[in-house]
Amino acid sequence: MGKIKITQVRSQIRREGSQKRTLQALGLRKMNQTVEHEASATILGMVNKVNHLISVEEIK
């Protein structure tokens, strides 16, 4: 699988605890912070859970 670039675009304030922990597991702590991950099934599941808080781009 390829790599994806994940950027946090919305705040985690007033979100459920599980969503906050998912953002932390992805390595996102601040607004507009960007991280890169392999597009594995685990990462894609976490991305799907918080897709309203992040922006995802595929890296070629």
Domain residue limits at 46? 3-59
CA distance 1 to 9: 25
pLDDT < 50 regions, the chain: none
Q: Give how many domains the chain has, as a whole number.
A: 1
Q: Considering only CA atoms, give the Rg of the chain.
A: 11
Output the pLDDT for position 1.
79
Q: Which residues pair with 35 in a beta bridge?
A: 6
Read off the CATH number of the domain in which 11 is found. 3.30.1390.20
Q: Does pTM top 0.85 for this prediction? A: yes
